[in-house]
Amino acid sequence: MIKEYLNQYEYDTDYEFDVNTVDDIKDERIKNEVLALYKSIDEYTEQKNIMDAKFKQYNKGNKKGYSPDDIIYFCNYHKIKCFGYDWKMNQFITNKNDLTNFNKNSPAFVFYFNDSHIYLIKDTAMRKSLLHSNDKSDIISLISKEANKNKSEREIKVDIPFEEWCDGESINIYITGQRVVNNTFYKLICNGEVYNNGVKSCEKDGIIKFTYKNKNKIIYNPDYYMVIKSIENLNNRNVDVKYKFQNQKMSTLAMEFLKNEFSSLPLSNMNESGDYIFNCDYIRNCQFNGWISEPESKDNLHAYDYNKHYTSCLMGLDCTFGWPVYSVFDEVKPFDGYIEAGFYYINTDNFFPFKGAGWYDADLVHYAIQCKLIKKKNILKQYKASTVLDVDNFETFIKDVYNLFDNAKYAINTLIGIFGCNYKSKNIHHFTQDNRLVLSELEANKDTKVKYVYKSEFMKENKDDKHIDMDNFNPDEHMKTESPLIFHVYNDKRVKSFQNYLPFFYRIYNISAMKMHQMATKIGGTVRGVFTDTIIFEGKITKPKCNKNIIGGIRSTSVKDFTKCMYTTPRASNYKI
């Protein structure tokens, strides 16, 4: 038996050990050493078999690691108290009743188990709250602080010269100048430096983010200074909610403020027929921004606009109905004769405030009936909401934004822009000179697109098209200078969200049209142009009472130069209802 144990180990020896039992050993000292070795091998084998069995039991996926039972076994072996908690901070395992002789010199092993990871809890306040109190209300915040305690926040630098972009390591460098990040990124490519890590782009501003040398992130954020100032104002209040800069824009900070402190803003979750309404051509293009007709003369033109126009629309000023929030159970139905919060399909050839036949908000429809622009018989369909927020739902929020935010009007206007978004873009970008990689990606992913990047786009100040002199044309030279510098392989596929704020977005623009028509009716004359919140009149008018200091107040403004008329043909009623 001893020989079998010893032969498991490939030790080189200079002597022959030729005994089969302990009793065969004559030397008492060697005999005792063999007995001790025998005992230690047995203990090791027993513990190893237990651990292997536990490992197989809890590790069916063949993953490496230890289970809570392994920790209990370890703690029992070393006489240490153990307390394990799940992600809800409910105790699910302990050995406090298993032993009576715990080692008083060893602290308890306290941990929580989440997402296949075991986290040791060392924070004194957290341990005390878990072990000696039934109140777990502050545990989550303590865990968050513990998890982030050793994470060093990235240093921030703003609008530093390009020469300093590679200084330091793991720094967030924010650039507020428009297209500076985009143009620099492409000029680096022209110089042979390609950076593919963390590249993000948007349609308006091109490349807005990428990781540069030393893991420094270059980020375009035109709102940086406004956001920082607004966060300072928000955090200077005596309230529990605190805000932290996380590359927000003014729009996203306003949304964060709205959700944090004015209850959660419910999303509409529409069925197929409802979703179709808010994505069809019979609700789009409801804004007015152009000349309706050419003025007869420049000498008799007048212009007026609303102060903080879209803010007043969101406040619900002069409105009757609330804000519709749809569920999948709300259905499109024939008009029942009663106007309530929601949208209605109108058959009309009116261009202002309507734009012909289409879906319009209850307030605009109600106003048009009062003004005799339409009759109830023009209302063919209704899409009423089962949940309706109060007409002044946003009023207190807006007042606080104007008290606390830097450039509050901009924050509200861009927040409304968020309401109009019902998709997320994949925003994946890669730059390569390997056309084989491009072809393989195009073959593998049907959503992949490719752009050619030419050096002349970014390195020449004069980008005017030049005629090619065919008599002196050198194809080889042309290929060297005008062939693509690099391929931009990207996937900007939009993933549609069926939960959105589109009803709010289109309601605001319908309220805007209503208010613009109210101004036109009050002032008179001939409406020559409507530009968002401004109307240009010609002829004899009734001068309105102006107040530029209040939200929604009318004020005089400058007259624009005439350019060309916008498309003014009302939509025909070809909608399939």
pLDDT in tens, 120-167: 887 777 777 777 665 555 555 555 555 554 445 789 999 999 999 999
Per-residue tokens: 125: 């306040």
Residue 17 — very low, low, confident or very high, per pLDDT cuts 50/70/90?
A: very low
What pLDDT is recorded for position 121?
82
| Angle of the 28-58 helix axis to the 68-77 helix axis, nearest 10 | 150
Three-state secondary-structure class, residue 333: strand
* Lowest-confidence segment of 115-124, 334-343, 446-455 by average pLDDT: 115-124
Residue 304 has pLDDT above 80, yes or no: yes
What pLDDT is recorded for position 5?
46
Spell out the residues 6+ positions from residue 388 whose beta carbon is closer than 8 angstroms to its own: 321, 322, 323, 324, 325, 340, 341
Of the candidates 383, 317, 308, which has an alpha carbon nearest to the alpha carbon of residue 345? Answer: 383
Residue 8 has pLDDT above 50, yes or no: no
Residue 15 — very low, low, confident or very high, per pLDDT cuts 50/70/90?
A: very low
Three-state secondary-structure class, residue 161: coil
**Do residues 414 and 249 touch, judged by C-beta distance below 8 A?**
yes
Q: Which residue has the higher pLDDT, 575 or 278?
A: 278
- Model confidence pLDDT, tens digit, residues 451-510: 988 877 765 544 444 454 556 656 555 555 567 889 999 999 998 888 999 999 999 999
**Do residues 186 and 458 touch, judged by C-beta distance below 8 A?**
yes
Q: What is the rounded distance in angstroms from the CA atom of residue 553 to the CA atom of residue 509?
A: 18
What ranges in 59-123 are assigned the alpha helix state H? 68-77
Sheet hosting strand 526-531, strand order edge to edge: 289-291, 526-531, 534-538, 301-306, 554-556
Of the candidates 117, 136, 124, which has an alpha carbon nearest to the alpha carbon of residue 63? Answer: 117
What pLDDT is recorded for position 58?
55
What percent of the chain has pLDDT above 90?
Answer: 59
Per the DSSP assignment, residues forming a β-bridge with 334 are 381
What percent of the chain has pLDDT above 70?
Answer: 84
Residue 353 has pLDDT above 50, yes or no: yes
Residue 56 has pLDDT above 50, yes or no: yes
**Do residues 423 and 498 touch, judged by C-beta distance below 8 A?**
no
Q: What is the rounded distance in angstroms from the CA atom of residue 363 to the CA atom of residue 153?
A: 49
- CA-atom Rg of the chain in angstroms: 36
Backbone angles phi, psi at 527, to 5 degrees: -75, 115
Residue 214 — very low, low, confident or very high, per pLDDT cuts 50/70/90?
A: very high
Q: Is 294 left (phi over 0), alpha (psi -120 to 50) or beta?
A: beta
Q: What is the rounded distance in angstroms from the CA atom of residue 475 to the CA atom of residue 288?
A: 50
Three-state secondary-structure class, residue 77: helix
What pLDDT is recorded for position 45?
75
Residue 177 has pLDDT above 70, yes or no: yes
Of the candidates 189, 146, 149, 151, which has an alpha carbon nearest to the alpha carbon of residue 170? Answer: 151
Residue 575 — very low, low, confident or very high, per pLDDT cuts 50/70/90?
A: low
Per the DSSP assignment, residues forming a β-bridge with 408 are none
Q: What is the rounded distance in angstroms from the CA atom of residue 356 to the CA atom of residue 572?
A: 6
For 288, 289, 295, 530, 569, the CA distances from 565, given in Å and listed in that order, are 12, 10, 10, 11, 11
Q: First-to-last CA distance in the chain? A: 91
Residue with tokens 């080889």: 476
* Lowest-confidence segment of 98-102, 130-134, 518-522 by average pLDDT: 130-134
Sheet hosting strand 342-346, strand order edge to edge: 333-334, 379-384, 342-346, 358-361
pTM above threshold 0.75: no
Label residues 339-367 b or e (16+ Cβ within 10 Å = b). Answer: bebbbbbbbbebebbbbbbbbbbbbbbbb
Three-state secondary-structure class, residue 542: coil
Per-residue tokens: 296: 């007869």
SS (H, E, C) 118-151: EEECCCHHHHHHHHHCCCCCCHHHHHHHHHHCCC
Backbone angles phi, psi at 551, to 5 degrees: -65, 125
Query: How far does CA 89 lie from the centroid of its chain?
Result: 29
Per the DSSP assignment, residues forming a β-bridge with 423 are 496
Q: Could you please report the per-residue DSSP string of 465-529?
A: -----GGG--HHHHHHHHS-SEEEEEE--EEE-SEE-HHHHHHHHHHHHHHHHHHHHHH-SEEEE
Per-residue tokens: 423: 């998709």
Residue 16 has pLDDT above 50, yes or no: no
Three-state secondary-structure class, residue 109: strand
Q: What is the mean pLDDT of residues 554-564?
A: 95
490, with CB counted inside 10 A (0-12, 13-18, 19+), is: buried
